């Protein structure tokens, strides 16, 4: 069984994003970039499924040439093969989903595992779009994945609690945070990953129109909260709460 895992290179989650002074976006010059945390979880899940019938894991990233580093990380974790699709221009989720569909048509994976959301643009769309374009089932926000030869049963984190769905394969799954804890790549595996195959293609080679549909007119900082006051003790807090009408 083959699993495809799309991974995105994003601003590291520990870095505080800074809006550029000219209002064109968030400053990504000289800041730490990493694999989107949800995608690490997706790679980890694919690796864990290797005991359950998965024989090959292909990772794919769409972006600038440097996304190679992200793919090497996935290979060092345990993926077998990587595909980089370069694009000068930023590709939106709809374009990413179309490129991924082209990859799926070529690679014919049984399962595609994506992150539920990329923490830069927080779109939470790509997996659902891909499933729609492929005409296959989708299970978003997965916290548990059980794979059999022809189906996948997924527990999903929904607003009210948990929900379980069963999908026919091939299918698309997107990961939530509690699905697993991704491993760190060991040094020997990082070395080994250097010789694993990484194919580089361009978006144009797939003949898919990925021109953006949205224009970002500006990016601004949200209104900042001012730090308030510290109260001396519980009595003062109770007094303030009463003054606010929160407590009787």
Partner 1 sequence: MSVLVWVEHDGKAVKDATLAAVTAAARLGEVEALVAGQGVDGVAQEAAKIAGVTKVLVADDASLGHALAENVAPLVVELMGSRDAFVAPATTTGKNIAPRVAALLDVMQISEVLSVESADTFTRPIYAGNAIATVQSKDGKKVLTIRGTAFEKAAAEGGSAAIEQVSAKGDQGLSSFEGSEIAQNARPELTSAKIIVSGGRALGSEEQFHQLIDPLADALGAGVGASRAAVDAGYAPNDYQVGQTGKIVAPEVYVAVGISGAIQHLAGMKDSKTIIAINKDEDAPIFQVADLGLVGDLFKVVPELTEKLAV
The SS3 of residue 147 is strand
* Beta carbon of residue 36, minimum distance to ligand FAD (angstroms, whole number): 8
Q: Which residue has the tokens 């898919």?
A: 208
Provide the phi-psi class of 132: left if phi over 0, else alpha when psi is between -120 and 50, else beta.
alpha
37 belongs to the binding site for ligand FAD (CB under 6 A):
yes
- Rounded to a whole number of angstroms, the distance between the first and last alpha carbons of the chain is 63
123 binds ligand AMP, rule: CB under 6 A: yes
Nearer to ligand FAD, 86 or 117 (CB): 117
Please tell me whether residue 93 binds partner 1 under the rule CB under 8 A.
yes
- Please pick, from the candidates 89, 166, 184, 202, the single residue that binds partner 1 as defined by CB under 8 A: 166
Q: Quick one: CA dihedral 59, 137, 213, 12, positive or negative?
A: negative
Give buried/exposed letters for 216-242 (b at 16+ CB in 10 A, else e).
eeeeeeeeeeeeeeeeeeeeeeeeeee
Taking CB under 6 A as the rule, does residue 184 contact ligand FAD?
Answer: no
Our finding on whether 158 is near partner 1 (CB under 8 A) is: yes
> Which residues, including other chains, have CB under 8 Å from residue 77's CB and lie 6 or more apart?
40, 43, 44, 47, 182, 183, 185, 189
- Give the footprint of partner 1 on residues 222-241 (CB under 8 A): 222, 225, 227-231, 233-235, 237-238, 240-241
| Binding partner selected for residue 8 from partner 1, ligand AMP, ligand FAD, none, CB under the kind-specific 5 to 8 Å limit | ligand AMP
CB of 182 vs partner 1, minimal distance in Å: 14
**Residue 119 lies near ligand FAD (rule: CB under 6 A):** yes
User: Where do contacts with ligand FAD occur on this chain (CB under 6 A)?
Assistant: 13, 37, 119
């Amino acid at each position: 069984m083959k699993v495809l895992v799309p991974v995105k290179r994003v601003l590291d989650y520990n870095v505080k994003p800074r809006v550029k002074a000219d209002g064109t976006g968030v400053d990504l010059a000289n800041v730490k970039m990493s694999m989107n945390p949800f995608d690490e979880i997706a790679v980890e899940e694919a690796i864990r499924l290797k005991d359950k019938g998965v024989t090959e894991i292909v990772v794919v990233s769409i972006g600038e040439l440097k996304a190679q580093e992200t793919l090497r990380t996935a290979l060092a974790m345990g993926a077998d093969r990587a595909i980089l699709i370069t694009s000068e221009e930023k590709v939106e989720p709809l374009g990413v989903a179309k490129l991924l569909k082209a990859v799926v048509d070529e690679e014919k994976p049984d399962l595609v595992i994506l992150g539920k959301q990329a923490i830069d643009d927080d779109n939470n769309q790509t997996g659902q779009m891909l499933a729609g374009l492929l005409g296959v089932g989708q299970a978003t926000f997965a916290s548990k994945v059980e794979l059999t030869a022809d189906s996948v049963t997924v527990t999903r984190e929904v607003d009210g609690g948990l929900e379980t769905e069963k999908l026919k394969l091939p299918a698309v799954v997107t990961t939530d945070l509690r699905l697993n804890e991704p491993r760190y790549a060991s040094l020997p595996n990082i070395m080994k990953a250097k010789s694993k195959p990484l194919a580089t293609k361009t978006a144009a080679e797939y003949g898919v129109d990925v021109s953006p549909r949205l224009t970002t007119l500006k990016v601004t900082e949200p209104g900042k909260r001012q730090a308030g006051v510290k109260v001396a003790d519980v009595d003062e807090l109770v007094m303030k709460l009463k003054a606010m009408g929160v407590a009787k």
